[in-house]
Every structure is written in C-alpha cells, then in structure tokens.
Amino acid sequence: MLSSQNEDSQKHFTLIDNGNVASAKGFKAGGLHCGIRKKKIDFGWFYSDVPAQVAGVYTTNVFQAAPLKVTQESIATEEVLQAVVVNSGIANACTGEQGLQDAYDMRKIFAETIGVKEHLAAVASTGLIGEPLPMDKIQYGMEQIPNKEHDGANKFETAILTTDTKEKGIAIELEIDGQVVTIGGAAKGSGMIHPNMATMLAFITTDANIPSKYLSAALKDITNKSFNMITVDGDTSTNDMVLVLANGEAGNESLSPEHKEWQKFYQALKFVSEYLAKEIARDGEGASKLVEVNVKGAFTDESAQAIAKSIISSNLVKTAVHGADANWGRIITAIGYSGVSLDPDSVSIYLGDILVVENGIPHPFDEEEAKQYLLQDEIKILAQLGDANGKATAWGCDLSYEYVRINASYRT
C-alpha cells in the first residue's frame, strides 16, 4: 500500500504494475533453492547487460560481515558494478578468514558463471550469524544460474527473505530529457531493524545515466530520510546494505544537481527508497501494524529526526500501540529522553486526528474513539513541538507476543 505522503512528487512519475528490480532496461534477475534452507528459495541474483554506476551504504555495526567487505572492495575498484548475488539462511558474519575467503570465492564463481570481470560482481548474505557458508550448496546454486527456468525478479525477491512474510518490490517510470527512465527495487528485512542500517538488504536499479559520485551523494542523503528512519526492535545487525546500480540504458543526458530535471530523479529515487523502507517496517517480525511518527516544529530537521527515532524505537510506545492503549505518556517520555532541547510547554501530541496532549498538558479525548483508531493496521502519531521549521518522519511497527516467539527460537 502506498502512502499519500509523496503525492506531489508522484505527479512526476508513474507506478509500474508488478514493477520490480528488473523493470529497468538492461536488467535481469532470478532465484532458486540451492539447499541452504530446507525448502524456501535461498539463492538469488540480478545483473545488468552492461557495467553500471553504483552507490552503496552499509551497516554501522563494527562487526561487518564478510560479504560487505568484499562488495565494498568491488565498488572501490572502479565505482561500477554489473551483478549482485545473494544467499539467505546464512549471514557469513563472524566467520573469520574462512568466511572472507568464502565471500571472495562466491564472487569469483558468480562472475565466471555470468561472464563478467570479478570486480564487477558483488555479494550479499543474510541469515544466521556465526555459521560458515555451505560452499557446496553455493556452488550448486551457481551452476543452475544459466537455467532459464530460474529467471524472474519475483524469484529474486523471494530468495533474499529470511523471517519476512512477504516479498517487497516496486518500480516507477518518469521522463527525463524526453527519455523514459525506470527505477526499480527489491528489499528484505523483518527483524534486527533499527535506524543506521540493520538486517536489511535493499537493491535499487535504474537505467538512468548518472555518474557514481552524484548517485552516491543522492543515496546517502535519501538513506537518512528513509532506510535510516525505520525500526522494528532496536537491534542493528552485522550485514546489510543498500546498493543502487545505474546502467545508463535510458539514454538521457548525464544527471547532476545542475541538470534541470535533477529534482525529478531525486524525488523518484526517494520515493522508491521510502516505499521499500516502509514495507520493511510494515513486515516487522510479529507485527500487526505499521506505525508512522511525524515530528514537526523542531528547530532543525536533525532534531526532529532524533525525536522521531526516539518515539518509534520506544518499546513502551510499540507495546501500547499493539494493545490499542492511548497511553500518550509513553510518547512524551520518549520525546523527553531523546536528548533534544525543547520547550515542554509547546508540545502537542496527536493520535491520527485525535489531539491527546496540547501545549504539554492532557487534552480531553474519547478513550473509545482513540482505541478504535489504534486498532487499525496503520497508525500515525504526530508530535508538534512548536512553530519552527524542522520536521522528520520515521516508520516502525508494534511489538507483539509473536515477535518474542519468533526470536526466542530463531536458531532452533
């Protein structure tokens, strides 16, 4: 389900029915079951017909998994990529020198299989930490890639999932320099999701012509407003990344911030990123509700971001939402410990359209009306801090009994 938040920017592009990571010109994708997991598809790939400009952002966890190190090395070589291979089930994290060698071997075999230079290939893994990759099964998966039976972006979307309950994909079209430009994407993420990157993999492809340096700058800025503004459980993992590949096949003039239609491209890339980020939050482990927190009236956007993250990350807020309890005191508390200086007497809180706190004190409201609102599957919380211009939005989910069940038995 798409939010109406970006209605103005949506005027510049069109959603593609069943759009995906292979919708842009020159991209292909596929996936299969190689045996890492018992039955589910667990091995996927996508690639461009030609080398693509690339940008990436990565987890801030100091325990970076081997695939991240290898992928960053690939990108650093020429700032171009052509292909990405992913396995789920085993994260290849905290696996020492053998894990690093396995990631290199995974890249080498994949590059040879599809016929690209080794440094043009990237690898990603997600799943259980501390277990070595079963390289015999990885090798089997590589051998199956030429089999066209396994082609299809829907199979790639399934292959990258772990505890997710559904695939996450999107694609849009816009016109730049009179040429149709497509941006598509796929993502996974359900648990260990917290701002500043976490257990998420997000892959975005476009046929736009844009140099890597401008793509990287745009992605970093957009990530701080999308992937870094979601949380499920407050845990930041070892693995994951967002990659954007741009192969230039659309034939538009080279994009830069000076290009007259730069903002059209930027807003379209932001829309795709926000959509994928929200789908990750919506699909949080055990979640039954998507929660959106809007903060307005802060002195700076950075202050608003800190407060939005504090609210969306609060386990007490998340459990209150799950129980449909209009306990606004938990929201006030999360604002108070955010570390941001503000005037408590200027803070107002809304649950949807229901005003529950006005200028720092309780505002009379109908408890039953608030409960009925909180029983919906999409909840919006607004914190109005004053009259300044700083604002931010964060996304998360409720915290349920099911979340505890899933994570209490993750390894077993």
* Angle 36-39-43 from CA coordinates, rounded to 5°: 45
* Angle 312-9-196 from CA coordinates, rounded to 5°: 30
The answer to whether the Cα torsion of 360, 362, 363, 367 is positive or negative is positive
- Measure the CA–CA gap between 277 and 282, rounded to whole angstroms: 9
What are φ and ψ of residue 373, in 5° steps? -65, -45
Q: How many CB atoms lie within 10 A of CB 254?
A: 12
Q: Across-strand partners of 203?
A: 186, 243
Please confirm, yes or no, whether 199 is among the known catalytic residues.
yes
Alpha-helical runs (H) found in 258-300:
262-282
Say if residue 118 is exposed, middle or buried (CB neighbours under 10 Å; 0-12, 13-18, 19+): middle
Residue with tokens 């096949």, as numbered in its chain: 249
Q: What six digits make up the tokens of 3? A: 């939010």
What are φ and ψ of residue 159, in 5° steps? -65, -30
Of these residues, 95, 199, 206, 223, which one is catalytic? 199
Which residue type is seen at 207? D
Q: Which of 44, 15, 47 is nearest to 183 (CA)?
A: 15
Contact 206, 245 (CB under 8 A): yes
Contact 65, 237 (CB under 8 A): no
- Could you tell me whether strands 348-351 and 354-358 are parallel, antiparallel, or unpaired per DSSP bridges? antiparallel
- Could you tell me whether strands 378-384 and 290-298 are parallel, antiparallel, or unpaired per DSSP bridges? parallel
Could you give the residue numbers annotated as active site? 199
